[in-house]
Amino acid sequence: MGHNLLKGKKGIIFGALDERSIAWKTALRCVEEGAEIVLTNAPIALRMGEINKLAEVCKAPVIPADVTSMEDLDNLFTQTKAHFGGGVDFILHSIGMSLNVRKGIAYTEANYDFMHKTMDISAMSLHRVLQTAMKHDAINEWGSVVALTYIAAQRVFPDYNEMADAKSLLESISRSFGYHYGVKKKVRVNTISQSPTVTTAGSGVKGFDGFVMYAEKMSPLGNANADQCADYTVTLFSDMTRMVTMQNLFHDGGFSFTGVTNAVIEQMEK
Ligand SMILES: NC(=O)c1ccc[n+]([C@@H]2O[C@H](COP(=O)([O-])OP(=O)(O)OC[C@H]3O[C@@H](n4cnc5c(N)ncnc54)[C@H](O)[C@@H]3O)[C@@H](O)[C@H]2O)c1
């Protein structure tokens, strides 16, 4: 049930691939809370056609954009402004991709062409989105931008591979651009550091099921799921969190500050 937390607000949602996507769930929650949205994803992802189902439910246009293309982003913001007749109040950056991970290449043997692509798609893209938005003056005052990240940016999770480096860069860009956009237009930029979640991107990580089970046992509240992540994101898009910016916000059931749990000790003693 909605609470009209986003009544009258307009936003762009990047990264809804299928029903499991965090962006998919967030799009639904935003609309439920009274927002109007534009959906976008890479042209290749749109070819799957899944997003049209979401677009129908959300009554949202779908505008293709590969986040590594400035031309695509330029077109996205031009079309979005025309669609809404003005700027937006929120943007969700829910994008990640690593060819080294996809091809099972070990961190120590990274292919650097792939690594460039990973950094561009998964991290620099936030800079590209914010720069283009700023150029178009496309985010309204007190607007809110959220990007999704993972705790491998701070601590080593060996099989998360180069995505850990990409997430560190993403979080840094969120802080740095958050400063500039805050001063210029009171736009806030934050990252949400989410529990491991079963999605297409998540399941691509080697040993993912073990990851999920370990995190579940290491979190006093258990893992946060994608629906709960969508709820949390809505609060960050709402006016209830206006003074929150440049933060990396853990949404992980307490995992990030837990040293060990009885559940893990019991498992070790088996
Ligand atoms: N699933 C998890 O365990 C988990 C945990 C923490 C953070 N995250 C982060 O959440 C975000 C969303 O991932 P998800 O788990 O919902 O998986 P997902 O696979 O559903 O979403 C990833 C999205 O990135 C899009 N994308 C890839 N390349 C692109 C490009 N060049 N241009 C535009 N879009 C592109 C894909 O099309 C897809 O929609 C990612 O940043 C991911 O790293 C996921």
Which residue CA neighbors atom 19 of ligand 1 most closely?
201
In this model, does residue 104 exceed pLDDT 90?
yes
Residue nearest to atom 42 of ligand 1 (CA): 96
pLDDT band at 257 (very low <50, low <70, confident <90, very high): very high
pLDDT of residue 60: 98
Among protein residues, the one whose CA lies closest to atom 39 of ligand 1 = 15
Q: What is the Å distance from ligand 1's center to 126 Cα? A: 13
pLDDT of the residue at 168: 98
Mutate to test the pocket of ligand 1, among 97, 163, 252 (most ligand atoms within 8 A of CB): 97
Q: How many independent structural domains does the chain possess?
A: 1
**171 in any annotated domain:** yes
Query: Span 17-34, mean pLDDT?
Result: 97
CB-based contacts of 70, cutoff 8 Å, min separation 6: 128, 132
Per-residue pLDDT band for 206 (boundaries 50, 70, 90) equals confident
Strand partners, 36: 10
The more confidently predicted of residues 198 and 70 is 70
Within a domain: residue 151? yes
Q: Whose CA is nearest to atom 12 of ligand 1?
A: 94
Give the other-Cβ count within 10 Å of 270's Cβ: 4
pLDDT for 235 beyond 80:
yes
Q: Is residue 3 part of a domain?
A: no
**Distance from residue 248's CA to the centre of ligand 1 (Å):** 17
Task: Give the pocket of ligand 1 (CB within 6 Å).
Answer: 15, 17, 21-23, 41-42, 45, 66-68, 94-97, 121, 148-150, 194, 196-197, 199-202
**Nearest atom within ligand 1 for CA of residue 198:** 1
Helix axes 112-119, 163-185, angle to 10 degrees: 30
% of the chain with per-residue pLDDT over 90 = 92
Tell me if 5 is assigned to some domain: no
Read off the pLDDT of each residue in 103-130 and give the average, rounded to a whole number: 98
Q: What residues are paired with 45 via a beta bridge?
A: none
Instruction: Please report the pLDDT score of residue 48 as a whole number.
Output: 85
Count of CB atoms within 10 A of residue 267's CB? 12
Mutate to test the pocket of ligand 1, among 12, 21, 120, 209 (most ligand atoms within 8 A of CB): 21
What's the mean pLDDT when you consider all of the chain? 96
Q: H or E element: which one contains 134?
A: helix 125-135
CATH number at residue 54: 3.40.50.720
Answer yes or no: is pLDDT of 136 > 80.
yes
As a whole number of angstroms, the distance between CA 225 and CA 253 comes to 10
State the Cα–Cα distance between residues 12 and 138, nearest whole angstrom.
11
Residues whose CB is less than 8 angstroms from the CB of residue 218 and which lie 6 or more positions away in sequence, other chains included: 255, 258, 260, 261, 263, 264
Cα–Cα distances in angstroms (integers) from residue 260 to residues 3, 219, 254, 266, 267, in the given order:
37, 9, 11, 11, 11
Closest ligand 1 atom to residue 194 Cα is: 6
pLDDT of residue 201: 80
Establish if 4 belongs to a structural domain.
no
- Structural domain boundaries enclosing 249: 10-269
